[in-house]
A and B are shown apart, each in its own frame.
Chain A
């Protein structure tokens, strides 16, 4: 509890850091914050125009010509949030070694700042994507709101995993290298680019054990076909998130003191 009270006391620092991290990406650029818009817009453009229009890739069973681009964006953007959060968290203590060694401040600030930043970036991109949906007449309606609990669940999962890896990475530097590779495989073992249905049934069975499959198919259902997610099907993810968060917090508390000696 004391840990969280300390975080609250440093809320000013956290907010300022989030602002600074965001600003520092664009200081000294002529266009400034416009780049925040250009990057995701070009991404949406690539997935819509190149994949869906030029390559004529169609989602099996879908009628709309935009179905595949919406499908792609739903998966790619949310996966982006996940991988961004995890990969930044796993390096958060190593990258801030200098500050950790010299200044005594609540160390939990660092993961909070990282997660907040990833979230801010995601909200901007996803906001633009939502506008795109609305313009194209593809906005799913009130179902859209169910994205919020899904994203919260996914973030809890990512935070638990990321903090666990972050602490381990201080002591075993192989962890960071290893997980970068794992993320690559994980992306292709999640139905982000392809629909689950094109896989052979046995493989479909196996991929169902991937928590991110459950999450990503949830987003796709909401955005492509406007269906509510199957809440009860998500309990394995919730359980995994809970276990990982508890493990991450435990590792952090046990080794936070020792960590500085290894940096």
Chain B
């Protein structure tokens, strides 16, 4: 069965000062003079092992070295230090549809792709009915790939890559492509392989899939293995790590969504800090369904304010408001706020939200809407994700757990 042993692995890329430095490096023997490059370490001292049948997730923010580690495990890149030892045959879903030629039929490409993965033509012939069935592309299998939709190509590529049960399956965010139906289907296929004894190694930004598939997780940060353990334990630590560098995380998330945080207003009062906390007062980025959370805002008044109302709206990923209120509606607006006063608001509520990404917009204004006098308005002030760690599966943006009765 498949095992993965990673021992003290490090990876450094050579950086050369100039165009000719590399040539100098090649021509001048090492014992004569110092090298003309500097090493840039992207991974250092990473050690862990995966036992047969285990499913391990690799977690870390962008640039933590996850993909580099996977490349070394699959063998496309060599580690600079340390070693990687694999037992069993490996299938890697690093990129789907590699080596597809648009002018050849799906069947021809499937055979070719399978051979590139190390299967014999005979084996692929035998697996073909299964590949066709899983890909669900029907008669298109004998059409050139150039007429396929990108989803069809993806389905075919995924079917080929997982057609033969591997001892070790390595997945790099390949799941985040395709439509929801295919995502679900491929996720299910991976889970199935896992229960059949395939050793799984999964890299993902999606905490949901790590928690859903893995029995253990490994956290990478700045090229080092920071921690390994149970997925939820690692997730907590990951959150803490993110909170430590709160601003940076928020910025990254905004970029990912391709949106820019817009701050507007007249500035008599400003929002100094805004965050989501758990009951212990630690900053959160990942929230469990139903978890009690605190939205905390620190307000600074720069002038005497005749009236001050703080409002917020929780929005889903599409920007649709899920819930919004303000201190006027909550019957707690302030009047005649002296200049220089610093106020901390806490809104505590259960996050009865569905799985997904949410943002909170906040505003400081007078009266019950921000139209009259707007001190500060901030879109996407906080972004957070809701994951379902311990509740039963459900769909939708809100969590409305029913009490069920069945009368017979």
Contacts and interface: CB of A to CB of B under 8 A. Distances in A.
Contact of B98 (A17, A28, A103): A103
Nearest to B12: A261
B22 A9 contact: no
Contacts of A105: 116-118
Contact-residue bracket for chain B = 20 to 34
A102 interface: yes
Contact of B115 (A12, A100, A102): A12
A16 B76 contact: no
Contact of A12 (B23, B77, B94, B121): B121
Contacts of B116: 13, 99, 103, 105
A62 B319 CA distance: 87
Contacts of B118: 9-10, 105
A204 interface: no
Interface stretch (B99-107, B195-203, B287-295): B99-107
Contact of A98 (B75, B90, B98, B108): B98
B215 interface: no
A99 B103 CA distance: 18
B121 A102 contact: no
Contacts of B104: 20, 23-24, 27
A19 to B, nearest CB: 10
Nearest to B112: A16
B22 A172 contact: yes
Interface string B109-153: 001100111101100000000000000000000000000000000
A12 B108 CA distance: 13
Contact of A104 (B76, B99, B120): B76
Interface string A1-34: 0000000011011001100100110011000000
Given A10-B115, A24-B103, A16 B78 contact: no
A112 to B, nearest CB: 14
Interface in A79-133: 98-105
A27 B121 contact: no
Interface string A171-194: 110000000000000000000000
Contact of B76 (A13, A27, A100, A171): A100
B168 to A, nearest CB: 12
B69 interface: no
B98 A102 contact: yes
Given A16-B112, A17-B112, A103-B76, 20 more contacts: A10-B115, A12-B115, A12-B120, A13-B112, A16-B111, A16-B115, A20-B101, A23-B104, A101-B71, A102-B94, A102-B95, A103-B92, A103-B116, A104-B74, A104-B76, A104-B90, A104-B92, A171-B26, A257-B78, A261-B13
Interface of B: 13-14, 22-23, 26, 71, 74-78, 90, 92, 94-95, 98-99, 101, 103-104, 108, 111-112, 115-118, 120-121
Q: Which 10 A-B pairs have the closest CB atoms?
A: A257-B78, A13-B115, A104-B75, A27-B103, A102-B95, A12-B121, A102-B94, A260-B77, A104-B76, A104-B74
26 contacts: A13-B112, A13-B115, A16-B115, A17-B112, A20-B108, A23-B104, A24-B101, A24-B104, A27-B103, A99-B98, A99-B116, A100-B76, A101-B71, A101-B76, A102-B76, A102-B95, A103-B94, A103-B116, A103-B117, A104-B74, A104-B75, A105-B116, A171-B26, A260-B71, A260-B78, A261-B13
